[in-house]
Copies of this chain bind each other. A is one copy, B any other.
Amino acid sequence: MTDLARTPQQIGNLVRRVRKKRDLSQTQLADQAGVRQETISLIETGNPAARLETILAVLAALDLEFRIVARRKAGPADIEEIF
């Protein structure tokens, strides 16, 4: 699995998707990441001003991580990320 993360929305969508796939509630994920349920809610709805460290903590709690790569043209497979 490798997902494009160019906007807070894309990141939020992915977090929600993975969280649900893991059958976790926002509260459970929040506990694991050491933040509050409110914070997870904000992140999933695409909060652009979220703290970097918070995002990193949430990703780690989901066994995910960022990788930084050269920007590419968004292919067909990425289009659905918009929705």
Contacts of A51 on B, CB cut-off 8 Å? Answer: 48-52
How many residues on the A side are at the interface (Cβ–Cβ under 8 A)?
A: 31
Q: CB of A35 within 8 A of chain B?
A: no
Q: Are A66 and B8 CB-contacts (below 8 A) given A48-B52, A51-B48, A55-B52?
A: no
Q: CB of A31 within 8 A of chain B?
A: no
Instruction: Tell me if A66 and B5 are in contact (CB < 8 A).
Output: yes
Instruction: Tell me if A68 and B59 are in contact (CB < 8 A).
Output: yes
Contacts of A2 on B, CB cut-off 8 Å? Answer: 67-69
Contacts of A1 on B, CB cut-off 8 Å? Answer: 68-70
Interface of A with B (CB < 8 Å)?
1-8, 11, 14, 47-53, 55-56, 59-60, 63-72
